[in-house]
Amino acid sequence: MKYKEMYVQPGYLFRRAHQLATAAFNVVTRDYDITPVQMASLVSIKDNAGIDATRLSEIIRFDRTTIGHVIGRLEQKGLIKRAEGSVDKRTKTLHITKKGAQLVDSLSDMTPEISDVILAPLTESERAELLKILQKLDKYASSTSQLASLKTKD
């Protein structure tokens, strides 16, 4: 493959789109010291009080190891707290703090701005079509065991 050929490959384009989305999130939320995965975790914990780390990783579709680090960071920031599970004492349940809930409320107001930055060059119909395609890919990725069985290279 020649280097210019990679510019039209889906994997390359998704990586660039991810960079754009992350940069837009970071610019809009620069005063809040939070990452996109931390925000997704906070929203999910707020909406599902008492979930455990395994369920959180399923909801936001992130691997369990990374979620453990994210939870630790959110707890250090005072945005969530862990509690002993009522059924299984070995399981820690996750709860958002008042500070965490306030942050979610503040950042939720910024979601349209983040989306506008990401989708700026697209027309309204292109935006709708892109979101439809991305939702279809997300549904495919969530429903197929074929993807889960693929080995990744180091």
User: How many domains are there within the chain?
Assistant: 2
User: What DSSP line would sit under 23-80, residue for residue?
Assistant: HHHHHHTTTS---HHHHHHHHHHHHTTTB-HHHHHHHHT--HHHHHHHHHHHHHTTSE
Domain that holds residue 47: 34-107
Considering the domain architecture, whether residues 78 and 138 belong to the same structural domain is answered as no
What digits encode the pLDDT tens for the residues 60-105?
Answer: 988 888 899 999 999 999 999 998 877 766 789 999 999 999 999 9
Nearest Cα neighbor of 97 from 58, 145, 46 is: 46
Q: Is residue 76 part of a domain?
A: yes
Question: Does residue 4 contact residue 77 with C-beta atoms inside 8 Å?
Answer: no
pLDDT surpasses 60 at 115: yes
pLDDT of residue 154: 43
Q: Is residue 83 part of a domain?
A: yes
Considering the domain architecture, whether residues 24 and 39 belong to the same structural domain is answered as no
Q: Is residue 140 part of a domain?
A: yes
Considering the domain architecture, whether residues 66 and 131 belong to the same structural domain is answered as no
pTM of the model: 0.84
pLDDT of residue 4: 83
Angle at 30 between CA 25 and CA 31, to 5 degrees: 135
Considering the domain architecture, whether residues 101 and 42 belong to the same structural domain is answered as yes
Considering the domain architecture, whether residues 24 and 64 belong to the same structural domain is answered as no
Please, which pLDDT band fits residue 37 given cuts at 50, 70 and 90?
Answer: very high
